[in-house]
A and B are shown apart, each in its own frame.
Chain A
Amino acid sequence: DADVTQTPRNRITKTGKRIMLECSQTKGHDRMYWYRQDPGLGLRLIYYSFDVKDINKGEISDGYSVSRQAQAKFSLSLESAIPNQTALYFCATSDTSGGYEQYFGPGTRLTVT
């Protein structure tokens, strides 16, 4: 089984709808991240969490919110989706005691029409 899983893998939704993307990990890592990937822009950090009680904004947090339900679960919400939030979304984890490398889930492709 994959160490970092994301659900759903693909989602098409309409403008104005609320969407939640979920991430679960079995790696036992304390740090979790949400990124979006757009062609030609690489990955940009949306939110990150260093433990269950710690939530921090990344460089592009506007229009997004997150919830860290447990050490293993980190959800990303789009309260009112808009077309320019169409992107590939990745969850990642890392370990405080590790070397800062991050481990990525398979991604969620979100299309907002």
Chain B
Amino acid sequence: AQSVTQPDIHITVSEGASLELRCNYSYGATPYLFWYVQSPGQGLQLLLKYFSGDTLVQGIKGFEAEFKRSQSSFNLRKPSVHWSDAAEYFCAVAPPQYGNKLVFGAGTILRVKS
């Protein structure tokens, strides 16, 4: 079935440690790819996006993501996590065959321990 998978429901990292959140998709053609963050009580904010070109994309708040076509993955990374990064992170894809509507993963909740 076509889907977006975020295999980690919860992740806990220490402040200052590195972070990687995983995202895999299963659509035939490469879709547009996005990462959103949802802070408690807030709406979703776009962190970064990939459409084409350089497979390593930079976003806001020090985040980056790497697109790997061979693995159908778009993992989000940050070299040093801050306590304010605690939030829920959503990977989303816009498959061409869906009229470029967004399909979301289930989300990963990030906890940051001091």
Q: Which residues of A are in contact with B by a Cβ distance under 8 Å?
A: 4, 33, 40-45, 48, 58, 90, 92, 99-107
Query: Does the CB pair A42–B46 fall under 8 Å?
Result: no
In the bound complex, how far is the Cα of B104 from the Cα of A42, in angstroms? Answer: 6
Could you say which residues of chain B place their CB within 8 Å of the CB of A101?
A: 34, 46, 49
In the bound complex, how far is the Cα of B101 from the Cα of A45, in angstroms? Answer: 9
A99: which of B44, B51, B106 is its contact (CB, 8 Å)?
B51
Size bracket of the B interface: 20 to 34
| Interchain nearest-CB distance for B51 vs A (Å) | 6
Q: Which chain B residue shows the least CB distance to A103?
A: B46
A42: which of B41, B49, B90 is its contact (CB, 8 Å)?
B90
In the bound complex, how far is the Cα of B34 from the Cα of A101, in angstroms? Answer: 8
Asked if B100 is at the interface (CB within 8 A of a chain A CB), the reply is yes
Please list the 6 inter-chain residue pairs (A to B) with the smallest Cβ-Cβ separation, ordered nearest first.
A42-B104, A104-B43, A104-B44, A43-B104, A42-B106, A106-B43
Query: Does the CB pair A107–B105 fall under 8 Å?
Result: no
| Interchain nearest-CB distance for B28 vs A (Å) | 18
Q: What are 18 A-B contacts with C-beta separation under 8 Å? A: A40-B9, A41-B106, A42-B4, A42-B104, A42-B106, A43-B90, A43-B104, A44-B104, A48-B101, A58-B101, A90-B43, A99-B51, A100-B32, A100-B102, A101-B34, A102-B46, A104-B45, A106-B43
Could you say which residues of chain B place their CB within 8 Å of the CB of A92?
A: 44
Name the residue among A48, A92, A99 with the largest chain B CB count within 10 angstroms: A99
Given the known interface contacts A40-B106, A45-B101, the answer about A106 and B42 at a Cβ–Cβ threshold of 8 Å is yes
In the bound complex, how far is the Cα of B98 from the Cα of A100, in angstroms? Answer: 12
Asked if B94 is at the interface (CB within 8 A of a chain A CB), the reply is yes
Could you say which residues of chain B place their CB within 8 Å of the CB of A106?
A: 41-43
